[in-house]
Amino acid sequence: MLIVMDHNATAAQVRAVQQAVEAMGLQAAPIPGRERTAIGVLGNQGYVDDTAIRNLPGVRECIHVSKPYKLVSRDFHPEPTVVEVGAIKIGDGHPPVVIAGPCSIESPEQMLEAARIARDAGAQILRGGAFKPRTGPHSFQGLGEKGLKFLRQAGDAVGMPVVTEIMRIEQLDAVCRYADILQIGARNMQNFDLLKEVGKCRHPVLLKRGMSATLEEFLAAAEYILAEGNPRVILCERGIRTFEQATRNTLDLSVVPLVRELSHLPILVDPSHATGKRSLVAVMSKAALVAGAHGIMVEVHPDPAKALCDGAQSLDGEGFGRMMGDIRGLLGYLGY
Amino acid sequence: MLIVMDHNATAAQVRAVQQAVEAMGLQAAPIPGRERTAIGVLGNQGYVDDTAIRNLPGVRECIHVSKPYKLVSRDFHPEPTVVEVGAIKIGDGHPPVVIAGPCSIESPEQMLEAARIARDAGAQILRGGAFKPRTGPHSFQGLGEKGLKFLRQAGDAVGMPVVTEIMRIEQLDAVCRYADILQIGARNMQNFDLLKEVGKCRHPVLLKRGMSATLEEFLAAAEYILAEGNPRVILCERGIRTFEQATRNTLDLSVVPLVRELSHLPILVDPSHATGKRSLVAVMSKAALVAGAHGIMVEVHPDPAKALCDGAQSLDGEGFGRMMGDIRGLLGYLGY
Amino acid sequence: MLIVMDHNATAAQVRAVQQAVEAMGLQAAPIPGRERTAIGVLGNQGYVDDTAIRNLPGVRECIHVSKPYKLVSRDFHPEPTVVEVGAIKIGDGHPPVVIAGPCSIESPEQMLEAARIARDAGAQILRGGAFKPRTGPHSFQGLGEKGLKFLRQAGDAVGMPVVTEIMRIEQLDAVCRYADILQIGARNMQNFDLLKEVGKCRHPVLLKRGMSATLEEFLAAAEYILAEGNPRVILCERGIRTFEQATRNTLDLSVVPLVRELSHLPILVDPSHATGKRSLVAVMSKAALVAGAHGIMVEVHPDPAKALCDGAQSLDGEGFGRMMGDIRGLLGYLGY
Amino acid sequence: MLIVMDHNATAAQVRAVQQAVEAMGLQAAPIPGRERTAIGVLGNQGYVDDTAIRNLPGVRECIHVSKPYKLVSRDFHPEPTVVEVGAIKIGDGHPPVVIAGPCSIESPEQMLEAARIARDAGAQILRGGAFKPRTGPHSFQGLGEKGLKFLRQAGDAVGMPVVTEIMRIEQLDAVCRYADILQIGARNMQNFDLLKEVGKCRHPVLLKRGMSATLEEFLAAAEYILAEGNPRVILCERGIRTFEQATRNTLDLSVVPLVRELSHLPILVDPSHATGKRSLVAVMSKAALVAGAHGIMVEVHPDPAKALCDGAQSLDGEGFGRMMGDIRGLLGYLGY
């Protein structure tokens, strides 16, 4: 940490800051400059809580050099993490994974048909939502535990592992019973109690980036899960909220290579939620893979026009099949 | 709802859209234009789910005229809601309320001293956090239920009702037992399960705006609570996330008069979280009251330099006393 | 400046950075830490160009302690700047100024009537746009130099100084001839050539914040003008672009007290452009004054329904008169 | 346009709006709903100026169906525009173009060496900045017209056309004399006077998206150029400003396929400015091409560590060569 003093801070103020740093068991190294004095803080392991410092008289700013995460950092864990889900491996050195399925589980028939479409086109993992976060209370809220059963049955029927979102801690037992991967949605990325609970599970966790989360906050959220003992975290970029309304969110694809520099965890991309437009899903999926994503997650529905949720961004069987054909060509270029 | 067709949509496509609208029990009124056709949708009560429409061939865009909230709307409920907490009234026609206290409950002594500072300076309601959402897992996470007791005891000692944040449904009984007002924090503004549960309580709910929530989403979140039968909702603007990093968040003060136009619910402002800077809290509190806020919520700590959380934005006793003196002068101007 | 090295930077890399710093005539003070080494840069006066440093092997980040402005900083110029326009004084210790008038100059009659409304209600300075930046080429683009004459005539008729926007350097002579204050609009805040040219003038300059400009960039833009020798700069906050679309822009009112901390220049607020809604202008004007603004700039039109530009945010004579009555009451509270 | 009335608008108010619409030579089609009345506006060709409407009593909102651009729209001009620069063709059906060179022109030697690196690695067009917009006045501001000569000489020496930024109208003659393509930088995207002037030229124009410009505003800016008679516009996405600071800007890659849907103009991507990090440039270049970009623009410098501007995002000869090798492999996959 670097503590920057005011231009006209007194020598006594500088000394008081040094003493406060030392009282924390750390060392303080003053760096006198022409315009102002700064004080380097040494000896810390990881992020320093600056509360006792930044309120002292004469302190202008505390600049953090360490990050609020360490377990997820590649600096301290250089080997890539590969998350295994049955025979499927997600991470560096393995072909990118494709997760596909409907936004909402609507019925056994819809789910089974979606599963067949996903499998036939070549997806490896099936997705489907049983608990749905919706902006307004007057929209369809999901089938709940009944939906989990339909998802599991469809997955078993086609031989695919399944992933579904958990929205509250009480759902943990049920979701663990039916699903192979637990998904934490964007709205819950900073639901720290939920993060801690999934951190105590053995299931892999697919953690979606919050719509206004910085990359630093995203990695710090993953840190919550790892800190509880679960290292099987898969990150997922799904677009951030910006002033631009031409797409549902703004897909921040540059974080894919950046996450690969900063962290050892695998990272996927969800182009369906990011763009909100069916016509952009295939092309942005390919761009994501070229950017280095370890996989993609795509909304597929047997009949998008009748989907109870997010139909506008869902592909139908034909569209998904075409996209998967395209992607197979790309995998050759990528060396898989 | 207005359905805008593509420039070159065919007559058959227009007819198919009309039929889909009619299949929903609504009427479709085509509006042919020189450049393209639009189709007005009539007969709906409130927000229309456009899923079955926006995926049809030839449809370019669905524009919603109705909003995803109704119970919170002033259009349908013109009289202002006044939320009573004991003898305190929050809402139109009543003097603005001041909620004060520390970010975190740290000890009985700290809480009691904060309560005395708050009361002596003229605040009406005491705040304090027992469950703390923190960006990283290595920071102080709050005292939990023990903290709730300290808060209650401090409130009783000075004769003030208390408000505290609830972060998960399991905490509901405990929080209802100890607190007079339930706070939903910014990170949980779209934790819809939690919203529904507090909607089943009789306690007033202080709902903070999510850091990336639009005003429409903020009001739709309140709708979740009202829809479950709890009309005692107090909104609270606390800053939004933007590109500007000079303040912790960007205080969106214009929503105060806008909420007063669009909704009958009272709205407070939290200048401490919005600005993140102690030196801005008093001046932005006054600006908030002049903008029409029904009250403010301010972080006050007996010794901010030692606060375990958010010290940089907390006022000490002297600073809070001075601010409250200022505000008393302003209340005269405001007619209270 | 603080240079942060990679976790695994070598000693040779650290030495190379030290030498590069010394080659710039500055001193380098290594701060070894447990996790990584940082290097403090000493001896600089003001902002350091980090180009020669940040590309060296092993360098992770360069953190700037100095700001890209100095002349506008209160640190180096503690006394407030008061800009005089005829007998009107804008800045600390003087009653807030009110600038009023139409968005666009449309005709001599419209301009004169607007001027009378402005003066009769108590505004001190008249505004009006002759050159109009419009999003699309098919909208009204302003009257040009003819408009400047109408503005000057209207100002002379009611005895008010006038302000108008300059959009390109070629307009400088004409605008200086007709106007008392030169306005730089939000879109030109980083038109550095234009800033330099108005920096060579003697006219006061009203500099509006760019819609996506950070506070630091805003002050650095003012630095361009001061650096050329013109210290008579008046800043103006007019809202920033965020994800929120309920208002035209998001009025960032917290920058008003923050600018007063960081700079000696006066700062105004334009609630008309910030909110884009007539019903919010009066209330946000009062909030701005309480937040410490040295004045406000408001759009007033004799007949907003017929305005060629921005009618939705313009007040008519009656609305503006009512607002000014309100403000007079507030000035008493503010001590004027 | 659709005019939405207040819930409790009177019949007289609705009639007044209808009359106002008809006074504009358009037709008004009332759409009575259960909750409120809306009024469709028919007969307009393109965007309607709503000034005379949105201020009328009882009007809640005006919703625009037409866009503020038409000449750039694919709706009205379905065939793709291919911009020719000498023998190079930019647009649909042609291999993507690579523009490379330094941020700033620094000397004849630096420019010539950069040109050789660019050509040897396979770039088609040479870039270099003679007039530099810089945040603070104390940074290097570019060589001016002298730089233009160095750029031209370097281009001629290696046989490449050159592109350079024009910042003000007075530079137009010089820039047209020396350059093959005129670049409008992000800060000038809404410098409408400048847009009009380059619209009167015959030179191709490379128009960069403003850092806070919506896609609609971006296309409307291009409309300014086409409206003056110059159809040779090449769009360029270069990142937008968001809350995320991990990259210099947020590369909004989804606009590439979206622009291809909405417009017939070619679109490039500048990954150097978008990310601000050298290590991300190659990977995001490839992602851009897969997303459908008609080319990329990349900063290349013989010795980035000594660059006077933007060194941190510049590739050196070796890095650029490696990237171009990668891209050649990708072109095969893309069918070129």
pLDDT class for A134, splitting at 50, 70, 90? low
- D62 neighbourhood in chain B, CB within 8 Å: none
Q: What are D95-134's pLDDT values in tens digits?
A: 999 999 999 999 999 999 999 999 999 999 999 999 876 6
Residue-wise pLDDT tens digits, A239-287 = 999 999 999 999 999 999 999 999 999 999 999 999 999 999 999 999 9
pLDDT bracket for residue A39 (50, 70, 90): confident
Instruction: Count the neighbouring beta carbons within 10 Å of the beta carbon of residue C316.
Output: 18
Q: What pLDDT shows up at residue B273?
A: 94
Q: Sign of dihedral through CA atoms B113, B117, B120, B124?
A: negative
pLDDT(A27) > 70: yes
Task: Measure B286 CA to nearest chain A CA, in Å.
Answer: 23
Q: Nearest CB to C311: which of D51, D305, D311?
A: D51
The mean pLDDT of A169-184, rounded to a whole number, is: 94
Which chains have 3 or more CB–CB distances shorter than 8 Å to chain C? A, B, D
pLDDT at residue A133 is higher than 70? no
What does the pLDDT read at residue D138?
60
Question: In this predicted structure, what is the pLDDT of residue C24?
Answer: 83
Q: Considering only CB atoms, which chain C residues are within 8 Å of B254?
A: 247, 250-251, 274-275, 280, 284
pLDDT-derived band of residue B45, with 50, 70 and 90 as boundaries? low
- At residue C172, the pLDDT reads 93
Could you report the per-residue pLDDT of D178-189, keeping only the tens digit for each?
A: 999 999 999 999
Least confident of A65-69, C142-146, C248-252, D192-196: A65-69
Mean pLDDT over C323-334 rounds to: 92
Q: Is residue C269 very low, low, confident or very high in pLDDT (cuts 50, 70, 90)?
A: very high
Q: How confident is the model at residue D59 (pLDDT cuts 50, 70, 90)?
A: confident
Which residues in chain B have their CB less than 8 angstroms from residue A223's CB? 136-137
Tell me what the pLDDT averaged over chain B comes to.
91
Mean pLDDT of D282-300: 97
Residues in chain D with CB shorter than 8 Å from the CB of A283 are 257, 290-292
Classify the C-alpha dihedral C169-C172-C175-C176 as positive or negative: positive
Nearest residue on chain D to B212, alpha-carbon basis:
D243
Q: Is the pLDDT of residue D45 over 80?
A: no
In chain B, what residues touch D34 (CB-CB under 8 Å)? 42-45
* Closest CA relative to residue C319, chosen from C288, C298, C336: C298
CB-defined contacts A:B, below 8 A: 127
pLDDT for residue A187 is more than 80: yes
Instruction: Name the residue facing B65 among D29, D38, D243 (closest C-beta).
Output: D38
Give per-residue pLDDT as tens, C222-245.
Answer: 999 999 999 999 999 999 999 999
Q: Which CATH superfamily is domain B83-334 in?
A: Aldolase class I (3.20.20.70)
Contact C32 A42 (CB under 8 A): yes
Residue B8's pLDDT is 81
Give me the residue from A244, A252, A292 closest to D283, CB to CB: A292
Q: Are residues C47 and D136, on separate chains, in Cβ contact within 8 Å? A: yes
B32 chain-D contacts, CB cut-off 8 A? 42
Q: Which residues of D touch A (CB under 8 A)?
A: 212, 214-216, 240, 242-247, 250-255, 257-258, 261, 274-275, 277, 279-280, 283-284, 286-288, 290-292, 329-330, 332-333
Confidence of residue A9 (pLDDT cuts 50, 70, 90): confident
What's the confidence (pLDDT) of residue C45? 64
Cβ-based neighbour number of residue B268 at 10 Å: 24
CB C248 within 8 A of CB C278: no
pLDDT exceeds 80 at position D155: yes
| pLDDT exceeds cutoff 90 at A63 | no
Question: What is the average per-residue pLDDT within D35-52?
Answer: 75
Report which listed range, B167-181, B255-269, C48-62, is most confident: B255-269
Please report residues of A whose CB lies closer than 8 A to that of B310.
51
Q: What would the mean pLDDT of B21-38 be, rounded to a whole number?
A: 80
Which DSSP string corresponds to A185-251?
PGGGTT-HHHHHHHHTSSS-EEEEPPTT--HHHHHHHHHHHHHTT---EEEEE--B--S--SSSSB-
Chain C to chain D Cβ contacts (< 8 Å): 127
Contact state of D55 with C278 under an 8 Å Cβ cutoff: yes
pLDDT higher than threshold 70 for residue B136: no
Q: What is the pLDDT of residue A181?
A: 98
How many beta-carbon pairs below 8 A join chains A and D? 112
- Cβ <8 Å between A244 and D291: no
pLDDT digit string, tens, across residues B58-114: 888 787 777 778 899 988 888 999 999 999 999 999 999 999 999 999 999 999 999
Q: B245: which chain C residues are within 8 Å (Cβ-Cβ)?
A: 214
Q: How far is C268 from chain D (nearest CA, A)?
A: 22
**D-chain residues within 8 Å CB-CB of A275?**
254
Give me the mean pLDDT over the B115-132 stretch: 95
ipTM above 0.90, yes or no: no
pLDDT of residue C228: 93
Token pair listed for B308: 């375990």
Residue contact D252–A251, C-beta within 8 A: yes
* Mean pLDDT, all residues of chain A: 90
D28: pLDDT strictly greater than 80? yes
Q: Do A31 and C29 touch (CB under 8 A)?
A: yes
Least-confidence region, from A115-119, B290-294, D13-17, D50-54:
D50-54
**Which among C7, C31, C61 is the nearest to A75, CB-wise?**
C7
Residues of C in Cβ contact (< 8 Å) with B244: 214-215, 240, 252, 255
- Cα of first residue to Cα of last residue in chain C, in angstroms, is 44
- Residue of C243, C254, C283 with shortest CB distance to B274: C254
Comma-separated ranges of CATH 3.30.70.1140 domains in chain C: 2-63
Which residues belong to CATH 3.20.20.70 in chain A?
A: 83-334
Chain D's closest residue to B33, CA to CA, is D42
> Hey, of B2, B64, B69, which one would you mutate to test binding to chain D, going by the most D CBs within 10 A of its CB?
B2
**Residue B203 distance to chain A (closest CA, Å):** 20
Asked if D46's CB is within 8 angstroms of B33's CB, the reply is no
The average confidence (pLDDT) of chain D is 90
Nearest by CB to B44, from D2, D33, D242: name it: D33
Backbone φ, ψ for residue D108 (5° rounding): -60, -40
Which chain D residue has its CA at the smallest distance from C131's CA?
A: D193
SS3 string, chain B, reads CEEEECCCCCHHHHHHHHHHHHHCCCEEEEEECCCCEEEEEECCCCCCCCHHHHCCCCEEEEECCCCCCCCCECCCCCCCCCEEECCEEECCCCCCEEEEECCECCCHHHHHHHHHHHHHHCCCEEECECCCCCCCCCCCCCCCHHHHHHHHHHHHHHCCCEEEECCCHHHHHHHHHHCCEEEECHHHCCCHHHHHHHHCCCCCEEEECCCCCCHHHHHHHHHHHHHCCCCCEEEEECCECCCCCCCCCECECCHHHHHHHHECCCEEECHHHHHCCHHHHHHHHHHHHHCCCCEEEEEECCCHHHCCCCHHHCECHHHHHHHHHHHHHHHHHHCC
Percent of chain C with pLDDT over 90: 67
pLDDT of residue A319: 95
Chain D closest-CA separation from residue B147 CA (Å): 34
Residue B331: pLDDT band (50, 70, 90) is very high
pLDDT at C294: 98
Long-range own/partner contacts, residues B203-206 (CB < 8 A, 24 or more apart): B203/B176, B203/B179, B203/B230, B203/B232, B204/B83, B204/B85, B204/B180, B204/B232, B204/B233, B204/B234, B205/B181, B205/B230, B205/B232, B205/B233, B205/B234, B206/B163, B206/B181, B206/B182, B206/B234, B206/B236, B206/B268, B206/B297
- Among A19-23, B203-207, D201-205, the range scoring the smallest mean pLDDT is A19-23
| Cβ-based neighbour number of residue D173 at 10 Å | 9
For residue C313, what is the nearest residue in chain D, using CA coordinates? D55
Q: Out of A216, A254, A280, whose CB is closest to D258?
A: A280
Mutate to test the interface with A, among D237, D245, D254, D328 (most CBs of A within 10 A): D254
CATH superfamily of C2-63: Phospho-2-dehydro-3-deoxyheptonate aldolase; domain 1 (3.30.70.1140)
D76 vs A198: which has the higher pLDDT: A198
Residue C55: which of D68, D196, D304 has the nearest Cβ?
Answer: D304
The residue whose two tokens read 């763009």 is A275
Q: Please report, rounded to a whole number, the percentage of residues in chain B having pLDDT higher than 70.
A: 96
Confidence band (pLDDT; 50, 70, 90) for D42? confident
For the stretch C75-118, pLDDT in tens is 888 899 999 999 999 999 999 999 999 999 999 999 999 999 99
In terms of Cα–Cα distance, which of C192, C194, C236 is closest to C211? C236
Yes or no: say if D158 and D116 are a contact pair by the CB < 8 Å rule.
Answer: yes
Q: What is the mean pLDDT of residues C309-323?
A: 89
In chain C, pLDDT over 70 holds for what percent of residues? 95
Neighbouring subunits of D (3+ Cβ pairs under 8 A): A, B, C
Residue of D nearest to B248 (CA): D243
